[in-house]
Amino acid sequence: MTPDDLKPALLMLDDGACFAGRAVGAAAEAAGEVVFTTGMSGYQETLTDPSYFGQITVFTSAHIGNYGATPQDDEATAPQERRFGPCGAVFHDFFLPAEGFGKGAFPHWRAVSSLNDELARLGVTGICGIDTRALTLHLRRFGSRGGIISALDPDRASLLRRAKALPSMEGQDLAQHVTCPHSYAFRPKAGDALPGGPPAAGRKPFHVAVIDFGAKRSILLHLLRQNLEPTLWPAKASAYDILATRPDGVMLTNGPGDPAACSYAIETVRKLLGRVPLFGICLGHQLLGLAVGGKTDKLHFGHHGLNHPVKDVTTGRVAVTSQNHGFVVEPGSLPASARPTHWNLNDGSLEGLELTDAPAFSVQFHPEATPGTWDVWGLFDKFRALIEESK
- Hey, how many other C-beta atoms are within 10 angstroms of the C-beta on 199? 16
Residue 282 bears catalytic tag: yes
CA 29 to chain centre: 22
Residue 190, exposed/middle/buried by CB under 10 A (0-12, 13-18, 19+)?
exposed
* 156-170 residue pLDDT tens: 999 999 999 999 999
Using an 8 Å Cβ cutoff, are 214 and 175 in contact?
A: yes
pLDDT > 90? residue 101: no
d(C-alpha 207, C-alpha 258), whole Å: 29
Q: What is the pLDDT of residues 273-291, one digit of tens each?
A: 999 999 999 999 999 999 9
- Enter the CATH code of domain 175-390: 3.40.50.880
Residue 308, SS3 per DSSP: strand
pTM for the full model? 0.95
Active-site residue, 300 included: no
Q: Which of 45, 118, 354, 368 is catalytic?
A: 368
Catalytic residue list contains 368: yes
Pairing, β 338-344 against β 350-355? antiparallel
Q: Does the pLDDT value for residue 46 go beyond 60?
A: yes
Per CATH, domain 3-164 is 3.50.30.20 = yes
> What is d(CA 50, CA 324) in angstroms, rounded to the nearest whole number?
10
pLDDT tens-digit series, residues 217-253: 999 999 999 999 999 999 999 999 999 999 999 999 9
User: Could you tell me the pLDDT band of residue 110, with boundaries at 50, 70 and 90?
Assistant: confident
The domain spans of the chain are 3-164, 175-390
pLDDT of residue 82: 47
Looking at 222, 285, 308, 366, which residue is catalytic? 366
Residues 282, 285, 304, 325: which is the catalytic one?
Answer: 282
The closest alpha carbon to 375, from 322, 308, 320, 304, belongs to: 320
